[in-house]
Amino acid sequence: MPRILVADPIAQEGVDLLGSRAEVDSKHGLTAPELMEILGGYDALVVRSETKVTAEVIGAGKKLQVIARAGIGVDNIDLEAATSAGIPVVNAPTGNTVAAAEHTLALMLALARNIPEAHRSVKGGEWRRSAFMGIEVRNKTLGIAGLGRVGTEVARRAQSFGMRLVGYDPFISPDHANRLGVELLTLDEMLAQSDFVTLHTPLTDGTQQMIGARQLALIKPGARLINVARGELIDEAALLEALDGDRLAGVALDVFAQEPPGDNPLLSHSKVVATPHLGASTQEAQREVAIEAAEQVLAVLAGEPARNTVNAPFLPPEVHAVLAPYIQVGLIVGKLLTHLAEGQFVGVTIRYEGEIAQHNTAMLKSAVLAGLLGPVTGEHVNLINAPFLAQQRGLSLTEQSNEAAAEYVSMITATLDTTGGPITVAGTSMRDEAHVVKVNDYWLDITPSSPYLLFVDNQDQPGLIGAVGTLAGRHNINISSMDVGRLNPRGMAMMVIGLDDPVPPAVLEEIKALPQIINARLVSL
């Protein structure tokens, strides 16, 4: 019988489920040396956020077949070390979805009806009914930033309140939004129209402080802001300044950039309702995440696939030699599509050509989708969960195969359809190295080994390459590579420049302002 170590407290229902098919030891509060001393005798490890599963800890788990996180975040687990050791890491991303959605609506109603202030007043011996006049949420506009799991559940529940729903999420399809009854807008449009704004986006480089001074200046006068997602989504200094003005009627915060927030001045502001990160803190949610984690541990131990594996799976040996190099190609193709696309995602078409088309291309499909969705979701997207996440976001998928390849031995071509028009990227592998060979109609040969790629749409004219290079040099930006594709001499062209250094926004604007430059986009790899 397998042995399972539960190193952090989880709901008893999860422990009981594990115990039905394995020997379970619950030992909480172990130091790293204590954990490493005993872990070698266990087949599975279950944690929450308290236990740090470092590379050293993983190295001590000589028999480990699976590591489970009873919750969503896996920041406390060294995924690279687990993957290198061939150990799947699973989490429980759905168990607390309803809890977070319900807490969002609770905070919305608390803001609308001044419940915390009225509570304190009555507890203090007062009876001032007129002092706490509220508003109804019926017929108000709710703006939902992020229509993933929690945002979707918020939308479904808000419909019963008779609210108009608008949303911002560039990475879901319009059809998915329509089914939820949500009108998709830009972030600026959503802020300007919403009476209540609730944040449910993951924390990524693109969403860090997505609500700053500029956004707060655009928000509808008298609006109320709710954050049950991540504290870092809001510029707290800018929020405090906005609260001191007349624009915001109230703010409800369950999360802060630093937790516990200490002497954060937001806590003492009269317009702020605060809770101590309670989004997932229900008895039901804790039970659900424990059961969800336990089910997946038992599945892995039984040799079955888990639903939510957050690190890359092992590629079967019989197809490894052919397909393995193209997994990286698919990841890069998908990532470039996301960075180069404009508008809402609608669907993606993936075409496999040549030798790779003779095999099961499921992993290549997953690689493209993982590259596509990885930059825009806070979840750990991998070859296993990428198709599910794409389906969840309403992204249509078409696959085509052609065993004959004209240009290369094998090639992956993906076209992303968006409301702003399609974008196509193709790639191949040469000498086990990924090459991007086509962007839209431009044939190129890009080895994406640099940390940054600058894509420049331009009119093919003498001296333009030198002008871009001179500008980069003036700002101490080192160019590592360059390739140019063009449709015809002196016609439309694309420069792709590999860079060792990032391009500041002001410098990017300088490049765009050069004669014959149509557009310039920086991609971080």
Determine which one of 21, 277, 307, 351 is catalytic: 277
Residue 444 neighbours by CB under 8 Å, 6+ apart = 436, 437, 438, 483, 484, 485, 494, 496
What gap in Å lies between CA 6 and CA 1, rounded to an integer? 16
Please, which residues have CB within 8 angstroms of residue 32's CB and are 6 or more apart in sequence?
A: 52, 54, 56, 57
Three-state DSSP at 118 gives helix
What is the C-alpha separation between 170 and 340, in angstroms, rounded? 13
Q: Which of 176, 200, 230, 339 is catalytic?
A: 230
Q: Is-same-fold flag (3-95+284-301; 97-274)?
A: yes
Query: Model confidence over 309-318: pLDDT tens digits?
Result: 887 655 556 6
Mean pLDDT of 495-516: 93
State yes or no: pLDDT of 289 exceeds 90. Answer: yes
- CA 226/CA 224 separation, integer angstroms: 7
Domain boundaries, the chain: 3-95+284-301, 97-274, 312-440, 451-525
Give the pLDDT score at 330: 96
CATH architecture of 3-95+284-301: 3-Layer(aba) Sandwich (3.40)
The verdict on whether 259 is a catalytic residue reads: yes
CA distances from 56 to 82, 309, 489 (A): 10, 21, 58
Q: Over the stretch 292-325, which tens digit does the pLDDT of each residue have?
A: 999 999 999 998 877 788 876 555 566 767 888 8
Distances (CA, A) of 189 to 12, 127, 192, 248, 431: 46, 40, 5, 17, 48
- Which of the following CATH numbers is that of domain 451-525: 3.90.220.20, 3.20.20.70, 3.40.50.300, 3.30.70.260? 3.30.70.260
* Active-site option among 50, 241, 259, 407: 259
What pLDDT is recorded for position 427? 96
Helix (H) / strand (E) element for 241: namely helix 236-243
* Cβ atoms of residues 230 and 259 within 8 Å: no
What is the pTM for the complete model shown? 0.79
Q: What is the pLDDT of residues 171-223, one digit of tens each?
A: 888 999 999 999 999 999 999 999 999 999 988 878 899 999 999 999 999 99
The stretch 220-238 carries a mean pLDDT of 96
Domain 97-274 = CATH 3.40.50.720: yes
Query: How far is C-alpha 408 from the geometric centre of its chain's CA atoms?
Result: 33
**Long-range contacts (CB closer than 8 Å, 24 or more residues apart) made by 462-465:** 464/495, 464/514, 464/515, 464/516, 464/517, 465/495
Asked whether the predicted pLDDT for residue 137 surpasses 90, the reply is yes
Give the model confidence (pLDDT) of 342-371 as tens digits: 889 999 999 999 999 998 898 899 899 999
Taking only the tens place, the pLDDT of each residue in 61-108 is: 999 999 999 988 788 999 888 877 878 899 998 888 999 999 999 999
pLDDT at 83: 78
State mean pLDDT over 450-468. 92
Phi, psi of 425 (to 5 degrees): -135, 135
Contact 153, 96 (CB under 8 A): no
359 in active site: no
Fold of 312-440: 60s Ribosomal Protein L30; Chain: A; (3.30.1330)
Q: Is 69 a catalytic residue?
A: no
pLDDT of residue 387: 86
